[in-house]
Structure 1
């Protein structure tokens, strides 16, 4: 689809859109786990025939954004992606408590992801699908890094979106996408089973199975070996660095989701040249 915008405007608009979407991703990262925890508590109390807890409305929209330290409402001028954090020098305007660098980093990554997708694929429906996938992977990576949690409410729609993307825009690749989803789940499920039988320990969570299945749906089964190689190598290097800095971390569980997400971004952005290099290296 030809862009109705002048070429010199496409990049800046993509960056601004990505910054804004990154701000929303921050909302998902901070609020979704709380929403899920409340849901699980409610279901547990119902299963135990306990009286339901009364709690104020809490979702992705309500209540309005507030400082986690002093609970002061955040003014609209302090919600500008990236700019507000820089203007406030990373502190709350009311209580001067530090604001986590997660917020500007996620916003910046959202902007860079949007810019990369638009520069690589132009203004098209393909770009919209790919940007949605990249931002979902960003939310999953940060949530898993913080809490070692990959919510089904994000991984499963990501999987179905990948299959729908191929059905709608690349129908000839749909069989590869279906096989990719199946193999993506089964590979990590099988590895988990073998590891558990050999050691009696849980090697990874089921969220990792579903995330790799979702990536298989987006990329197709042929990209899974390289994706797993990149994710495993990155996660291993990260784990070694953490243990070298703090030996007490030895034996502690490390989230694998962020490394699957990072490998997924690379393959979505530059899958063909990476595969060509990988096959040449293998030969």
Structure 2
């Protein structure tokens, strides 16, 4: 019986490959890029457990003694806990706020009947995504600079004393969240708009006949239809929860010790230690720690998603 199943399975795979040969052929370049830039670099994990020597390479360098030697500074430094906490909390803020705004934007645009206006709003909200973080950092400085910043000038007009924003760590989680939402909401809304465009219009017609208002149609038809897409995109975002956007943090915040309390994330922490200490093994150990924590969080969230709605998880 098992042999028959194996033969049927092999026949099925061969049939599938033959039937969709051109589709699989088109996927080859993408798979090659994925292998070269995502799987081959995994060999670099060994650096976290070695006394890395550039002249000897990854495989020629001696193993660290003890094997966990490169991890000592991680678990003995208070900065590691601070960077981990900041990374998780800031990314949770980014994910929650960006998702809420993107879903809200998609729901509102779905109600717009004038195509020209709809396309204009979509294009207008999508533009910030293509602005580099360097340009965004210039805009941010022009707004929050102490002497000539637009925000402090505005406060001065109302008789309020100036605020040194680059010395106020408590304000930056909100500022960074607003910047991230402004930059990513339009792009994130694209998939939600695409999902809503595929909803059968007969649902809305039936609801309209029953006397449902546009708001109730949005609440009881559009939003439930978006639920699977929201769960998948949030899970994918959680997969990167330990990876802060280095360009954003280093471009806007820079190496400002006054703001480390709320803005020092793992990426800037690793970069700073690599630059100051110059130990590749320690930097690799921090990166490995970052990946393991992210993996555990994804597994936990995926399990919760499957319990919440069967089959809604990634696996």
TM band (smaller chain) = under 0.3
Query: Which structure: greater helix fraction?
Result: 2
TM-score w.r.t. structure 1 length? 0.27
TM-score w.r.t. structure 2 length? 0.25
Larger Rg, first or second structure (1 or 2): 2
